[in-house]
Amino acid sequence: MPKLTMLLLVLLLAGCGENSNDSAQQESSRWVKTAELTPVEQPMLMLTGVVRARYETPQAFRVSGQVATRHVDAGQRVSQGEVLFTLDDSDLQEALTAARADVAAAEASVAVSQADLERDRQLLERDFLSQQAFERAKLANREALTRSDAAQARLEQARNALDYATLQAEADGLLIDVVGEPGQVVATGQAVATLAQEGRREVEVAFPSHMRPPAEGALLLDDRQISLSRREVAGAADPASRTWRARYQLEEALLTDSLGEVVQTRFPMDSLPEGVFQVAVAAIDERGDGPQLWQVTDGQAQPVAISIERMQRDHAWVRGEQLRDGMEVVALGTHLLTPGMDVRPLAQEEAQ
């Protein structure tokens, strides 16, 4: 009986010793806070834009004069060749009459010079006229012909000017602005209306001066998203707003013709390589040969080499061959860790 009692006491003491060793090992492990790695999403820039037509052409007379009639209003759709405005053509009619008279006078001069030339040729053959006088007659005839050609050109110009007194739409489209009024005196080339020609619409966007307009983007509507492709970028930043003006083509047609409407657009800010993750700045340890993170593996802290893509105020973008989505890394106190150190994530303490 005493021997059995002694054996039980020895076994009890041995079990208590093992438990105490395990407790001491757990108490010696450092508690660490961990966080999951999350992939960096493509940063996007949201900007407002204005719907424009590909061609917004000012409509203007090719001659000066006083507006006689106005046939259209802003917001009206017109067809190619439709009359928009007319000028008072009384002066143009007089100019046409004068041009016709000049042509008639020039033709008479040609007839006289040709008759003189033929007479002088006959006299020259009979030796009644010198060669010099005959050459002078030939030059006079050539001059008369040239003046006739000039008179014909002026007549054609006068006819064209009379036609230009009627302003017609140069293409099918929508008049987005009409400013000409009857009685107004306009100069040559002075716009009296603006025509947005039919065709696909574009979006004009102003980008901050520090950002070059990207090649692609998206137009955000209530229930649709239309892809945008860059067509042109201004050659210089706007001197007043210090922004870059860019025009983007719509890959799909709009359901409604909403010229001038302010719309929401979205553009990628940067092109990111694959495998970039976001971590807290405090998780990065730079004591070694390069930046590294610490991973908890089998209760021990192990370093993982990384490269830093971008550093922000609270977070950093990092890359590494061993990094993966959802990987647990030590988020605080990494400067106190050493390879193989026993650590315990705080999540285990909370679970207990």
Q: Which domains are seen in the chain, by residue range?
A: 29-42+274-351 (2.40.420.20), 46-56+199-268 (2.40.30.170), 59-88+165-198 (2.40.50.100), 89-164 (1.10.287.470)
3-class secondary structure, 339: coil
Q: Which two tokens stand for residue 291?
A: 């930046």
Task: Please provide residue 283's backbone torsions phi and psi, each rounded to the nearest 5 degrees.
Answer: -80, -10
Which pair of structure tokens corresponds to residue 111? 């007839």
Rounded Cα gap, residues 200 and 249, in angstroms: 8
Per the CB < 8 A criterion, the answer to whether 229 and 240 are in contact is no
With beta carbons less than 8 A apart as the criterion, state whether 248 and 217 touch: yes
Report DSSP state, residue 325.
Answer: T
Bridge-based pairing state of the strands 300-305 and 292-297: antiparallel
Residues whose CB is less than 8 angstroms from the CB of residue 287 and which lie 6 or more positions away in sequence, other chains included: 335
CB atoms within 10 A of CB 334: 20
Q: List Cβ neighbours of 53 (8 Å cut-off, separation of 6 or more).
A: 173, 174, 176, 196, 197, 199, 201, 202, 259
pLDDT, residue 6, reads 61
Cβ neighbours of 316 (radius 10 Å): 21
Q: Reduce the secondary structure of 165-227 to three states and give it as a string.
A: CEEECCCCEEEEEECCCCCCEECCCCEEEEEEECCCEEEEEEEECCCCCCCEEEEECCCCEEE
What is the CA 116 to chain-centroid distance, rounded?
A: 70
Instruction: Note the pLDDT of residue 28.
Output: 64
Residue with tokens 């040729």: 121
Q: In the structure encoding, which two tokens stand for residue 278, read together?
A: 């976001």
> How many Å is the Cα radius of gyration of the chain?
45
Taking a C-beta distance cutoff of 8 angstroms, is the pair 26, 169 a contact? no
Q: Taking a C-beta distance cutoff of 8 angstroms, is the pair 249, 231 a contact?
A: yes
Spell out the residues 6+ positions from residue 46 whose beta carbon is closer than 8 angstroms to its own. Answer: 264, 265, 266
Output the CA–CA distances (angstroms, integers) from residue 72 to 9, 64, 91, 205, in the order listed. Answer: 113, 20, 25, 30
In this prediction, residue 81 carries a pLDDT of: 95
Q: Report the alpha-carbon distance of residue 250 to residue 227 in Å, rounded.
A: 6
Q: Cα dihedral angle (270, 273, 279, 282), rounded to 10 degrees?
A: -90
Residues of the chain with pLDDT under 70: 1-28, 270-273, 347-352
Strand partners of residue 280: 315
pLDDT for 25 equals 45
pLDDT of residue 9: 58
pLDDT of residue 2: 55
Euclidean distance between the first and the last CA atom of the chain, given in angstroms as a whole number = 42
Residues 6+ apart with CB under 8 A from 198: 171, 172, 173, 174
